[in-house]
Amino acid sequence: MATDPTVKGTMTSPLLSRRNILLGGFGIAATATVAACTTPAPGKAGMPSRTFGAPAPLSPSPSQRLVEKTLVAKPVSLDLGGRTVSTWAYDGTLPGPLVRATAGDFLRVSLDNQLPADTTIHWHGIRLRNAADGVPGLTQDPISSGTKYVYEFTAPDPGTYFFHPHVGVQLDRGLYAPMIIDDPNEAGDYDAEWIVVLDDWIDGTGTTPDDVLKKLIADGGPASSGGMGGMDHGSMGGMDHGSMGGMSMGTPPWGDAGDVTYPFFLINGKPPTDPDVLTAKPGQRIRLRVINAASDTIFTVTLGGHRLTITHSDGHAVEPTEVGAFYIGMGERYDAIVTLGDGVFPLVARPFGKTSGGQAIAVVRTGSGSAPAVDAAPAELSGQVLIGSQLRPAESAKLPDRAPDATVDLALQGSMKPYQWGMNGAKFGENEPLTVKAGQRLRINATNQTMMTHPLHLHGHTFALPSGLRKDTVLMAPMQSFAIDLDADNAGDWMIHCHNIYHAEAGMMIALEYAT
């Protein structure tokens, strides 16, 4: 396994378990502030509530192609391998319908909210205009039940994206769908494309994501009893984060990887007992677009018997890198090219650090043979697994060299007991927004001060890691730091947050505002 030189060695020491490291809490004063907040704003606890009114209609410029789409968000019953679950989804399908356009197109997407709750859509990773970003209270009013809302924006950059609500823990229902922005200048040196959407599933299995969050908070106990250090996952069913069902994974980089025990994991909305079957001819070159739409699960992805050449990370070109398997955090996307062998192969997404619920699997079929077992364990899983932040950027994807004009610190903080997550000393709504001036190169010194891994996500921009690698979502291992640079070229109020949706909803978010 590749080890990340920026990860501090202490995280893997057996003598320093998560139980006796006292780090990452908010500090006494901030904890008291969190506990004292008992009047959540409408829709979202701690959310600053501004009102916006209906968005002013826009039209495409003469040179732009118009791409129109209507989505209906509604309750639905789905059959997941013989088990019926009730959930919420777009157009009643899982994943929701693909939204596809070409870079530079003007998108007009109407959302008909037939859910029994407020919602919004966030276009994850798209560098769009602020008013279409889908954050209630920050960029728009929540879309109330029984109403419609029209999103209009230009999608400037090609890549693999997805969309989901930015309200509560709705992402952990069935409300997610892929979004592809094609590159008009790309040759497309492959025979076919497969979109592979990963998810962790619990909704409608006797509980809901809202109940899961309530239970996490209740199990964490009151803020006064836990202090800062008790990051104890004992109540989550005896997770053994080091071994994956007896299989050696080398040194796991991610520490405590998740909070929620999921009954199953899906690829393209299908459980292992009724897997998606992807068919092609032997020798064909396939472009995989892998999207992690899970709320609480980092996956290790592999196609048994194959090498994958990673070409893009979060939509941005990288130096093509051949791997047997790679990690993908919540909100990340990776594109890979693979040349298919002859036969039947398991496409496996194995949840990192979770010992129940099995794995997600799809079947790749180019010839005859029986389907792989639901618990197929391709050898690639126990070989080297790529950590995406170690990819090198393609020359074309680098930010131009420039010294930062301003620097800010961003601390990721929190604990399981009490279940409190925040940034820069407090939960969202009580922490100070980061600010930047239009035109600046901003450096954010981000530090994960906790013993869990968090996928750090930025809206409306992409950032560059010190290597120059462009990302909008990056996995930060326990105690890991990254200096991330962005060009402030998209004015507005944006979110930076953990893409573990339970952490985000508990407060692990902060605003990035353009100062005038």
Radius of gyration of the chain (CA): 22
Tell me how far, at minimum, the Cβ of 331 lies from ligand C2O, in Å: 5
Size, binding site for ligand C2O by CB under 6 A: 10
Measure Cα distances from 319 to 201, 355, 398, 467, 507 in Å.
33, 34, 11, 12, 36
- How many residues does the structure list for the chain? 516
| Per-residue mark of binding to Cu ion, 415-454 (x: CB under 5 A) | ---------------------------------------x
Pairing of strands 463-464, 470-471: antiparallel
CA 473 – CA 465 distance, rounded (Å): 11
Q: Which of ligand C2O, Cu ion, none does residue 471 bind (CB under 5 to 8 Å by kind)?
A: none
Judged by CB under 6 A, the stretch of 39-47, 83-91, 137-145, 493-501 that binds ligand C2O is: 493-501
User: What does the alpha-carbon distance between residue 177 and residue 162 come to, in Å, rounded to a whole number?
Assistant: 6
Subset of residues 170 to 209 that bind ligand C2O, contact rule: CB under 6 A: none
Q: Give one DSSP letter per residue of 281-300, joined into a string.
A: -TT-EEEEEEEE--SS--EE
In 366-499, at which residue ranges do the beta strands (DSSP E only) sit? 406-415, 420-423, 434-437, 441-448, 454-458, 463-464, 470-471, 473-476, 481-487, 493-498
What CA–CA distance (Å, rounded) separates 171 from 41? 20
Q: What are phi and psi of 101, to 5 degrees?
A: -150, 180
Stretch that binds ligand C2O, among 3-11, 211-219, 343-351, 495-503 (CB under 6 A): 495-503
Can you tell me whether residue 20 is helix, strand or coil? coil
Cβ of residue 476: shortest distance to Cu ion, in angstroms? Answer: 9
Among residues 388 and 418, whose Cβ is nearest to ligand C2O? 388
* Inter-residue contact 196 to 347 (CB < 8 Å): yes
Q: Is 417 in the site for ligand C2O (CB under 6 A)?
A: no
End-to-end Cα distance, the chain: 46
Binding mask 108-127 for ligand C2O (x = CB under 6 A): --------------x-x---
Q: Cβ closer to ligand C2O: 138 or 464?
A: 138
Residues with Cβ within 8 Å of residue 52, at least 6 apart in sequence: 131, 139, 140, 141
Q: Which does 124 bind (CB under 5 to 8 A by kind): Cu ion, ligand C2O, none?
A: ligand C2O
What is the per-residue binding string for ligand C2O in 276-315, x denoting contact by CB under 6 A?
----------------------------------------
What is the pairing mode between strands 406-415 and 470-471? unpaired
d(CA 140, CA 361): 38
Does 503 bind ligand C2O (CB under 6 A)? Our answer is no
- Is residue 459 part of the contact set for ligand C2O (CB under 6 A)? yes
d(CA 479, CA 419): 19
Q: Residue 331 touches which of Cu ion, ligand C2O, none (CB < 5 to 8 A by kind)?
A: ligand C2O
CB closer to ligand C2O, 170 vs 359: 170
By a kind-dependent CB cut-off of 5 to 8 A, residue 166 interacts, out of Cu ion, ligand C2O, none, with ligand C2O
Taking CB under 6 A as the rule, which mask of x and - marks residues 327-366 in contact with ligand C2O? ----x-----------------------------------
Q: Which of positions 494-513 make contact with Cu ion (CB under 5 A)?
A: 498, 500, 503
**Closest CB to Cu ion among residues 268, 431:** 431
Where in 136-213 does DSSP place strands (E)?
148-154, 159-164, 177-182, 192-201
Nearest to 168 by CA among 42, 332, 34: 42
Question: Which one of Cu ion, ligand C2O, none interacts with residue 497, CB within 5 to 8 A by kind?
Answer: ligand C2O
Q: Considering beta carbons, is residue 136 or 331 the nearer one to ligand C2O? A: 331
Q: Print the binding letters for residues 229-268 with ligand C2O: x by CB under 6 A, - otherwise.
A: ----------------------------------------
Partner touching 500 among Cu ion, ligand C2O, none, CB below 5 to 8 Å by kind: Cu ion
Q: 350 vs 497, which CB is nearer to ligand C2O?
A: 497
Binding partner of 454, given ligand C2O, Cu ion, none, CB within 5-8 angstroms per partner class: Cu ion
498 makes contact, choosing from ligand C2O, Cu ion, none, with CB < 5 to 8 Å by partner type, with Cu ion
Least CB distance to ligand C2O at residue 114 (A): 22
Cα–Cα distance for residue pair 70/109, rounded to 1 Å? 6
Question: Considering beta carbons, is residue 166 or 354 the nearer one to ligand C2O?
Answer: 166
- Encoded one letter per residue, x for contact with ligand C2O by CB under 6 A and - for no contact, window 138-177 reads --------------------------x-x-----------
In whole angstroms, how close is the CB of 265 to ligand C2O at the nearest point? 19
- Can you tell me whether residue 7 is helix, strand or coil? coil
Q: 204 vs 331, which CB is nearer to ligand C2O?
A: 331
Tell me: does residue 497 bind ligand C2O (CB under 6 A). Answer: yes
3-state secondary structure of 320: strand
| CA angle (10, 16, 20) in 5-degree steps | 130
Round to whole Å and give the CA distance between 104 and 405: 29
Residues 6+ apart with CB under 8 A from 332: 292, 313, 314, 388, 455, 471, 473, 474, 475
84-92, 178-186, 419-427, 494-502 -> range binding ligand C2O (CB under 6 A): 494-502
**Which residues in this chain contact ligand C2O in the complex, by CB under 6 A?**
122, 124, 164, 166, 331, 457, 459, 495, 497, 499
**Which residues in this chain contact Cu ion in the complex, by CB under 5 A?**
454, 498, 500, 503
